Amino acid sequence: MTAYLLERAWLGDRFHDDVLVEVEDGRFASVTPDSDPPRAIPVRGLVVPGLANTHSHAFHRALRGRTQRERGTFWTWRDQMYDVAARLDPDTYLALARATYREMAAAGITCVGEFHYLHHQPDGTPYADPNEMGLALVHAAREAGIRITLLDTVYLSSGFGAAPEGAQVRYSDGSVASWVDRVDALVEGGHARVGAAVHSVRAVPAADLDAVAAWVGDRPLHVHVSEQVAENDACLAAYDVTPTRLLADHGLVGPTTSLVHATHLTDDDVTLIGGARAYAAFCPTTERDLGDGVGPSRRLHDAGARLTLGSDSHAVIDPFEEMRAVELDERLATQQRGHWTAQELLTAATTDGHASLGWVDAGAIAVGQRADLVVLDPASPRTAGTGRDENTAVFAAAAEDVRRVMADGRWIADDGDRAAIGRELDDVIGRIRT
């Protein structure tokens, strides 16, 4: 057992001083505020629980800074994403994901939900091990020191009945039955769990949704929903209902479902999602990068939904920016302040985020929980003079203020790692691009 004295730590309600935590077998064995033990290891700074990134496409990291050269939309950006998707093999996928997950770890992320659909070879032929690409992600997370929920994705159509084309052919298993056969072969490990994803209502025909629901059961299920107005229009034309209503009608909106983006919703959609106690996975830095729009985060929460946060395309990997962006985007949309408290946003990034990925034993500094710690510098140019409280963490801090990160009782990152992570990313992205 190892004892640490946390100078100032978030315990779910507020920051407490001199918090003694004892860590045994990767979990908190005791948590005691206002302590002064003689032999505990001091941990200086503001300490928050490990953060969960609930929506990631690791290979999109290769696009950062390369998609800003011309005017366009989500759909023109997608063409550039497909170009990268067509270039990857298991080795480069592993290297890119490992570097990306190391960047996440350095930003305070201890668990990632990887929305994985790069399944097969570029011509659609399965690898000798049909899960080779998914296993590359699992290995990458282990090597970076973080946990992963592999959200293995069903993708059968390029759009409301059209066959996959181009890079999409490597996404498709051909049928739900083939997808189930492949995913059933995945084995969960100590740092890895397996969930499911429906890429979107345009990528999985309505006739196949019942079969997906039958396999999913109570596993985490994530779905891209209403990210674009064009998606809503096409779904209405094909099925005469919104994407949310279509999913709900097939049993795919429930308390273990995460609706990703949930940007362009009707009042009925909001009521459905909230009434199901589903999660709404917002990715503000990607949604603004792609010009998606601002989703109704507060209305969803008030209806009963639970907010979580993701970095999606990794235009930025900064969970503190994602947290405050939810509030700041609401301010822009409504011209009013004060929609979300810092405590609510920390909950979204910690306990609710982990729970949405199936890790209900993570995201809090509490007895029995996984020993994850994120140590912030309270005296950086961003955080100095801000009060050393939850508002400092959410509305002032940035990924660069993370000094050290612990996951499952093991220190996995410190601020001295950033230069090496940068070199690693530069190398692997260069290999993919050449």
Query: Residue 281: which of 56, 51, 4 has the closest Cα?
Result: 56
Gap between the Cα atoms of 51 and 231, Å rounded: 31
Long-range contacts of 233-237 (CB under 8 A, 24+ apart): 234/159, 234/160, 234/202, 235/160, 235/201, 235/202, 237/160
Q: Is 261 a catalytic residue?
A: yes
Residue tagged active-site, from 312, 318, 329, 372 = 312
In this model, does residue 72 exceed pLDDT 70?
no
DSSP label at residue 221: E
Look at the block and give the residue holding tokens 């309270």: 378
pLDDT, position 36 = 86
For the stretch 196-242, pLDDT in tens is: 999 999 999 999 999 999 999 999 999 999 999 999 999 999 999 99
DSSP state letters, 165-214: -GGGGGT--SSHHHHHHHHHT----SSEEEEEEE--TTTS-HHHHHHHHH
Averaged pLDDT score across all residues of the chain: 95
**Per the residue annotation, which of 55, 57, 250, 261 is the catalytic one?**
261
Please report, for residues 336, 356, 397, the alpha-carbon distance to residue 44 in angstroms, rounded to integers and kept in the order given. 36, 30, 16
Q: What is the pLDDT of residues 335-362, one digit of tens each?
A: 999 999 999 999 999 999 999 999 999 9
- pLDDT of 70 higher than 80: no
- 56 within 8 A of 310, measured Cβ to Cβ: yes
**What pLDDT, on the 0 to 100 scale, is given for residue 87?**
85
Question: pLDDT higher for 182 or 165?
Answer: 182
Q: Which two tokens stand for residue 276?
A: 């199901």
18 is catalytic: no
CA distance 247 to 244: 5
Percentage of residues of the chain with pLDDT beyond 90: 88
